[in-house]
């Protein structure tokens, strides 16, 4: 059973893919499962892929910038070239590896793979994690056999498609933390409420700056665990050392990027979470059952973080603060209001747990397996020829998918022309 996974280049796309891959490994024990990642270069450590025995095959991919200036026009032109090269790369990777299915998490890095899969007649499953369709998934949905969505409002947004509301995959390991163990792990003093500040997998520079502007005031009232992003770590650390008096330094725990073990402990020990509003962050917060304050990223594509935040918060699981409308002292006041009202914190926690879909990764893995098992054992085969003409080479293929010649088989003719010299 060969499956290709793909997604755009940030942790918000890749970490859910790994969660689904882990579930696929568990439900196919005793069967041969060949997993490959095909997509752009990613920042996730190789150990995460090697632990799940996922091969990595890197291709080019390009972003589409939806703002107009001379620089963006040049960048978009170059990225369109990269996208076309990526489609060719993905086409030949899929042609010769012959996967039974492509599972895409969306993002710009997935688009070449989805297009190549469509050309080859390979089934495509998509997952949309945000409350509004991303561009890659919006276009890719025309090629998809199944679509999974994280937010229920999207079920009606893909007419004519088989759509399943499953939530967003969350790494199961993140939910196994123990508060007492985590207090020891982080050397928590137990004298103040614990606030966990996280800006997503890449940190959030403006949130860092906002906290640093009033860091002594925050540390005087709360114990802080702060993930600032790898690229921001040294600058944040230097600023904190200058700003914090010695008697408050033990209340500030700074990290560039949290490992799975560290994230598990941070979620277990904190009393409230302050975060951006990416779907991955929201569903991890919900699964942990912790109250939260969400600060959507204003520049997020199609304002998807605003949509995510307000949909999550509408029943009381979180409070949304828009970045342009608040100051560090307003955030301090919001925290004081929440911690002075235990009933409100308890309600936020309850609503977070109601929203959570902790089995999303397992549900998608089971759908994928069931779909493949339902297909004929011979997923597809092709016949073709290479031809050479004046200055060109032609590859023609006839591809059958879904079973050797049965009435349900799908047939595709693919002709590829290479101009030589």
Which has the higher per-residue pLDDT, 248 or 143? Answer: 248
What is this structure's pTM?
Answer: 0.84
Predicted confidence (pLDDT) at residue 62 exceeds the cutoff of 60:
yes
pLDDT digits (tens, 9 = 90+) for 40-57: 987 666 778 889 999 999
Predicted confidence (pLDDT) at residue 382 exceeds the cutoff of 60:
no
In CATH terms, the superfamily for domain 173-355 is Glycogen Phosphorylase B; (3.40.50.2000)
**Residue 310 pLDDT grade (very low, low, confident, very high; cuts 50, 70, 90):** very high
Predicted confidence (pLDDT) at residue 287 exceeds the cutoff of 50:
yes
Predicted confidence (pLDDT) at residue 98 exceeds the cutoff of 90:
yes
Q: Which of 393, 369, 401 is nearest to 94 (CA)?
A: 401
Q: Which of 176, 335, 362 is nearest to 271 (CA)?
A: 335
Predicted confidence (pLDDT) at residue 70 exceeds the cutoff of 80:
no
Predicted confidence (pLDDT) at residue 204 exceeds the cutoff of 60:
yes
Rg of the chain in Å (alpha carbons): 24
The two tokens of residue 16 are: 């859910």
Predicted confidence (pLDDT) at residue 420 exceeds the cutoff of 50:
no
Say whether 173-355 and 2-170+360-374 share the same fold.
Answer: yes
Which has the higher per-residue pLDDT, 11 or 105? Answer: 105
> Which of 141-145, 287-291, 340-344 has the weakest average pLDDT?
141-145
**Residue 19 pLDDT grade (very low, low, confident, very high; cuts 50, 70, 90):** very high
Query: Can you name the CATH fold of 2-170+360-374?
Result: Rossmann fold (3.40.50)
The whole-number pLDDT of residue 395 equals 56
Please list, in sequence order, all residues whose beta carbon lies within 8 angstroms of the beta carbon of residue 4, skipping any fewer than 6 positions away.
35, 36, 37, 38, 94, 97, 99, 101, 102, 103, 113, 117
Predicted confidence (pLDDT) at residue 390 exceeds the cutoff of 50:
no
> Which of 3-17, 265-279, 321-335, 402-416 has the weakest average pLDDT?
402-416
The whole-number pLDDT of residue 408 equals 44
Instruction: Work out the mean pLDDT of the chain and round it to a whole number.
Output: 87
Average of per-residue pLDDT across 142-154:
94
The whole-number pLDDT of residue 199 equals 75
393: β partners? 388, 418
Predicted confidence (pLDDT) at residue 107 exceeds the cutoff of 60:
yes
Residue spans per domain, the chain: 2-170+360-374, 173-355, 377-421
- How many angstroms separate the CA atoms of 286 and 289, rounded? 5
Predicted confidence (pLDDT) at residue 1 exceeds the cutoff of 50:
yes
Predicted confidence (pLDDT) at residue 410 exceeds the cutoff of 70:
no
Which has the higher per-residue pLDDT, 309 or 389? Answer: 309
Average of per-residue pLDDT across 378-387:
46
202, 258 in Cβ contact below 8 A? no
Predicted confidence (pLDDT) at residue 17 exceeds the cutoff of 60:
yes
Residue 290: φ, ψ to 5° = -100, 140
Predicted confidence (pLDDT) at residue 67 exceeds the cutoff of 90:
no
Predicted confidence (pLDDT) at residue 325 exceeds the cutoff of 90:
no
Average of per-residue pLDDT across 369-376:
88
What percent of the chain is predicted at pLDDT more than 70? 86
């Amino acid at each position: 059973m060969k499956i290709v996974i793909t997604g755009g280049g940030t942790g918000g796309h890749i970490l859910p893919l790994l969660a689904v891959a882990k579930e696929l490994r568990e439900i196919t024990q005793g069967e041969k499962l060949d997993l490959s990642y095909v997509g752009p270069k990613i920042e996730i450590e190789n150990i995460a892929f090697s632990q799940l025995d996922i091969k990595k095959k890197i291709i080019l991919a390009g972003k589409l910038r939806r703002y107009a200036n001379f620089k963006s026009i040049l960048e978009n032109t170059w990225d369109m070239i990269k996208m076309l090269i990526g489609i060719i790369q993905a086409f030949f990777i899929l042609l010769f590896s012959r996967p039974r299915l492509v599972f895409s998490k969306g993002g710009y890095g997935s688009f070449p793979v989805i297009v190549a899969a469509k050309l080859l007649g390979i089934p495509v499953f998509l997952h949309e994690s945000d409350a509004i369709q991303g561009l890659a998934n919006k276009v890719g949905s025309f090629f998809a056999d199944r679509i999974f969505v994280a937010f229920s409002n999207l079920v009606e947004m893909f007419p004519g498609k088989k759509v399943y509301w499953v939530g967003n995959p969350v790494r199961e390991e993140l939910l196994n933390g123990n508060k007492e163990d985590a207090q020891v792990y982080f050397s928590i003093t137990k004298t103040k409420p614990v606030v966990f500040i996280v800006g997503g997998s890449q940190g959030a520079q403006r949130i860092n700056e906002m906290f640093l502007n009033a860091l002594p005031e925050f540390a005087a009232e709360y114990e802080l665990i702060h993930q600032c992003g790898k690229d921001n770590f040294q600058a944040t650390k230097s600023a904190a050392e200058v700003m914090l008096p010695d008697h408050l330094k033990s209340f500030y725990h700074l990290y560039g990027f949290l490992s799975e073990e560290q994230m598990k402990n941070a979620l277990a020990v904190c009393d409230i979470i302050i975060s951006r509003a990416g779907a991955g962050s929201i569903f991890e917060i919900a699964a942990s059952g912790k109250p939260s304050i969400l600060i959507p990223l204003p520049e997020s594509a199609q304002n998807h973080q605003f949509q995510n935040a307000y949909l999550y918060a509408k029943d009381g699981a979180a409070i949304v603060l828009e970045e342009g409308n608040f100051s560090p002292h307003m955030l301090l006041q919001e925290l004081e209001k929440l911690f002075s009202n235990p009933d409100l914190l308890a309600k936020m926690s309850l609503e977070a747990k109601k929203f959570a879909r902790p089995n999303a990764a397992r549900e998608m893995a089971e759908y994928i397996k069931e779909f493949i098992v339902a297909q004929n054992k011979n997923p597809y085969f092709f016949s073709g020829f290479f031809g050479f003409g004046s200055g060109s080479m032609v590859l023609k293929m006839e591809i059958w998918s879904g079973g050797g010649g049965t009435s349900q088989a799908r047939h595709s003719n693919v002709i590829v022309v290479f101009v030589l010299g």
